[in-house]
């Protein structure tokens, strides 16, 4: 990887790390999740990055893809497992980082961080998807916890935030080999015992997919914005209210969804409703080793 590209990955990653440290000092029970999201949005901008996706704030059994609605009045409560997943890009080079906040000490969160670190330790050119999956599964089992088995890590590329292959968090038979210059996001989700997530009906996050004819002028404007301004990366419905009324946004998103102009990210929930934690880092493979960009 060229040095100037690695520098951009590091800059994006260090913005996520700084925001994590700030949030760990700031978040207290009673804080609104909308306040957390607005803080993250503002800090990314202030520090010279752009959001690679809307911050996901997913609480307890809600596992991923939740982001506050406009006027969202949900608050962090005592003992909640609050997963905060932050994506920043610098000229398209992405840092993808997640951590879990809880007002009380949580063995689940501690184990999750350790599982992630065990997997990061083995990363270098030549490592396979299967070796990573087995390491994560063994590390979780050793600590007496289960995994969300249908959520995976992924690769990253310029303006591509979920590249192939998927990096399974369980033992698997993929002999896909990673090479120098590959960028990986590892993100095990731990819970009481192995489980899977299912989609809920709530959608707050979308992504540009293709140009399609739609009737509403606002729908056409939103699609152009998703393509050109959001660079075909995921965006939040919340972000559109600066320019469009809630009614127009609702109608537009329905038209764009029906026309298959946008991809949707429904909120994901643990099927058995047990609370879930998450830990994630972005890692660049370099000669004989790796660099974690998001700490
Ligand atoms: Mn993430
Ligand atoms: Mn990720």
| Angle at which helices 33-46 and 3-26 cross, to 10° | 150
Give the residue extent of every domain in the chain: 3-196+271-292, 202-268
Please report where in the chains the tokens 């990653």 appear, as a residue: 13
Closest to 6 in 3D by CA, of 88, 94, 85: 94
**Hey, how many other C-beta atoms are within 10 angstroms of the C-beta on 122?**
12
Q: What digits encode the pLDDT tens for the residues 204-218?
A: 999 999 999 999 999
| Angle at which helices 107-121 and 129-142 cross, to 10° | 150
| Angle at which helices 246-258 and 217-228 cross, to 10° | 80
CA distance 170 to 178: 17
Strand order in the sheet with 82-90: 50-59, 82-90, 93-101
Closest to 66 in 3D by CA, of 207, 275, 214, 267: 267
CA distance 107 to 125: 32
DSSP class per residue in 156-222: EETTEEEEEEEEESS------B--TT-EEEE--EEESS-B-EEEEEEEEEEEE------S-HHHHHH
Closest ligand to Cα 53? 1
Closest ligand to Cα 278? 1
The pLDDT value recorded for residue 295 is 95
Closest to 251 in 3D by CA, of 219, 211, 291: 219
What is the rounded average pLDDT of the residues 18-32? 98
- pLDDT tier for residue 91 given thresholds of 50, 70 and 90: very high
Q: Distance from the CA of 98 to the center of ligand 1, in angstroms? A: 5
- pLDDT tier for residue 90 given thresholds of 50, 70 and 90: very high
What is the rounded average pLDDT of the residues 230-250? 95
What is the rounded average pLDDT of the residues 242-256? 96
Task: Say whether the peptide bond before residue 165 is cis (omega within 30 degrees of 0).
Answer: yes
CA distance 218 to 195: 40
Q: Distance from the CA of 15 to the center of ligand 1, in angstroms? A: 14
Q: Distance from the CA of 216 to the center of ligand 1, in angstroms? A: 33
Q: Distance from the CA of 91 to the center of ligand 1, in angstroms? A: 18
What is the rounded average pLDDT of the residues 226-237? 96
Structure tokens at 101: 């906040």
- pLDDT tier for residue 127 given thresholds of 50, 70 and 90: very high
Q: What digits encode the pLDDT tens for the residues 31-58?
A: 999 999 999 999 999 999 999 999 999 9
The pLDDT value recorded for residue 224 is 98
The pLDDT value recorded for residue 268 is 98
What is the rounded average pLDDT of the residues 187-205? 97
The pLDDT value recorded for residue 12 is 98
Domain 3-196+271-292 fold is Creatine Amidinohydrolase (3.90.230)
Strand order in the sheet with 289-292: 160-168, 152-157, 183-186, 281-286, 289-292
Q: Distance from the CA of 225 to the center of ligand 1, in angstroms? A: 23
Answer whether 3-196+271-292 and 202-268 agree in fold: no
Give 7's DSSP letter. H
The pLDDT value recorded for residue 238 is 94
The chain-wide mean pLDDT, for the chain, equals 97
Give the H/E segment covering residue 75.
Answer: none
CA distance 267 to 129: 26
- Residues serving a catalytic function are 85, 96, 154, 162, 187, 280
For 288, the 3-state DSSP assignment is coil
Q: Distance from the CA of 65 to the center of ligand 1, in angstroms? A: 10
- pLDDT tier for residue 147 given thresholds of 50, 70 and 90: very high
Domain 202-268 fold is Arc Repressor Mutant, subunit A (1.10.10)
Q: Distance from the CA of 34 to the center of ligand 2, in angstroms? A: 21
């Amino acid at each position: 990887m060229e040095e100037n590209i690695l520098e951009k990955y590091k800059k994006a990653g260090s913005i996520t790390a700084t925001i994590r440290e700030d949030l760990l000092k700031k978040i207290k029970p009673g804080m609104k999740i909308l306040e957390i999201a607005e803080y993250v949005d503002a800090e990314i901008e202030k520090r010279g990055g752009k959001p690679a996706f809307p911050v996901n704030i997913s609480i307890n059994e809600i596992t991923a893809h939740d982001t506050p609605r406009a006027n969202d009045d949900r608050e962090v409560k005592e003992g909640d497992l609050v997963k905060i997943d932050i994506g920043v890009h610098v000229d398209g080079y992405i840092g993808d980082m997640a951590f879990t906040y809880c007002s009380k000490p949580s063995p689940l969160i501690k184990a999750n961080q350790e599982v992630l670190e065990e997997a990061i330790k083995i990363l270098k050119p030549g490592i396979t998807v299967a070796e990573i999956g087995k390491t994560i599964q063994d590390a979780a089992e050793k600590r007496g916890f289960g995994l969300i088995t249908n959520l995976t890590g992924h690769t990253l590329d310029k303006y591509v935030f979920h590249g192939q292959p998927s990096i399974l968090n369980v033992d698997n038979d993929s002999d896909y080999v990673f090479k120098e210059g590959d960028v990986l996001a590892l993100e095990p989700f731990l819970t009481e015992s192995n489980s899977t997530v299912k989609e809920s009906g709530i959608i707050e996050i979308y992504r540009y997919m293709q140009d399609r004819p739609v009737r509403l002028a606002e729908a056409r404007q939103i699609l152009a914005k998703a393509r050109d301004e959001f660079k075909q990366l995921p965006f939040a419905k919340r972000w559109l209210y600066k320019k469009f009324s809630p009614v127009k946004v609702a109608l537009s998103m329905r038209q764009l969804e029906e026309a298959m102009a946008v991809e949707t990210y429904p909120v994901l929930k643990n099927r058995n409703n047990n609370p879930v934690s998450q830990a994630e880092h972005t890692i660049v493979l370099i000669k004989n080793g790796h660099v974690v960009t998001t700490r």
